[in-house]
Amino acid sequence: MRSAIQLYTLRDLDDTLPELLERVGETEFEGVEFAGLGDSNPDEIRGTLDDTGLDAAAAHVGIEDLEADLDGVVEAYRTLGCDRIVVPYLDETHFASRQAVADTGRRLAELDARLGDHGVRFGYHNHDHEFTDLGGEDGGQANSGGESAFDQLADETDIDLELDVGWATAAGRNPVELLDHLRGRVPLVHLKDVAGTTPVELGEGDLEIEECVRAASEAGTEWLVYEHDEPTDAEESLRHGAETLAELLS
């Protein structure tokens, strides 16, 4: 496995995207996962990646942007050497019932097929609301013991799933068991720690970090992606995340 950082972690820094990449390039991280390109020129970003030695692990792209201009998205990220695109978020309504999950699955599967025709791998990144328990009725609470919307999505599609082990933990699920169940379908894993439902620095929360890293490796994960949704100090979070992942993967 290799290490990367989701650049959303650094969104509060007053840097251009090339400057953010230069910061990351000074750490032990081997790659980045993009959270949009802003006004940056893809050719300039590619040059910065080359200069820093960083690889593009993946890119988070909103589903509406993909559906509106899939060819344009593919072209921009191909310039960066990025051949993985992940939908980072769909709101609770997409997982509120069995029918909603089925519709969501078909929508994601269609994008998977279209991107596959371009030689691009596709995936979906979870938060905690995907683990809502559908049970025998539409709706329900997470972790009440029945099948969750996430389980249904996994069972009814064969798309890659970028498992966020922090949000899975926040939802009351065991991420090690999920990784084992999803072997071969989790080329990207978000390594995030949480205390209850609050994102915290790695090692300060509830996540069984070493067990998750071992399970990800056994599941065939290629990139372990560090993310902190709400860092109090983005520079320190970058340093700590890079050092922690380097130690875990050494």
What is the enclosing helix (H) or strand (E) of 223? strand 223-226
The separation between CA 74 and the C-alpha centre of its own chain, rounded to angstroms, equals 18
pLDDT tens profile 30-80 = 999 999 999 999 999 999 999 999 999 999 999 999 999 999 999 999 999
> What local confidence, expressed as pLDDT, does residue 140 receive?
45
Q: Is residue 139 predicted with pLDDT exceeding 80?
A: no
Q: Residue 189 forms beta bridges with which residues?
A: 163, 224
For 149-168, what is the mean pLDDT? Answer: 98
pLDDT of 136 > 90? The answer is no
pLDDT of 138 = 45
What is the total count of domains within the chain?
1
pLDDT digits (tens, 9 = 90+) for 184-213: 999 999 999 999 999 999 999 999 999 999
Mean of the per-residue pLDDT values of the chain: 95
Q: Where does the pLDDT of residue 145 fall: very low under 50, low under 70, confident under 90, or very high at 90 and above?
A: low
Cα-based angle 141, 178, 132 (whole degrees, multiple of 5): 15
Opening angle at CA 152, ends 92 and 141, nearest 5: 50
The H-assigned helical ranges of the chain are: 17-25, 42-52, 63-68, 70-79, 98-117, 149-156, 165-170, 175-181, 209-218, 234-249
Residue with the larger pLDDT of the pair 115 and 143: 115
Average pLDDT over residues 203-229: 98
- Check pLDDT > 50 for residue 14: yes
Cβ atoms of 223 and 9 within 8 Å: the answer is: no
pLDDT band at 135 (very low <50, low <70, confident <90, very high): confident
Domain coverage including residue 50: 2-249
Q: Identify any residues that bridge with 34 across adjacent strands, giving them in sequence order.
A: 59
Residue predicted with more confidence, 135 or 34:
34
The CATH number of residue 69's host domain is 3.20.20.150
pLDDT greater than 90 at residue 126: yes
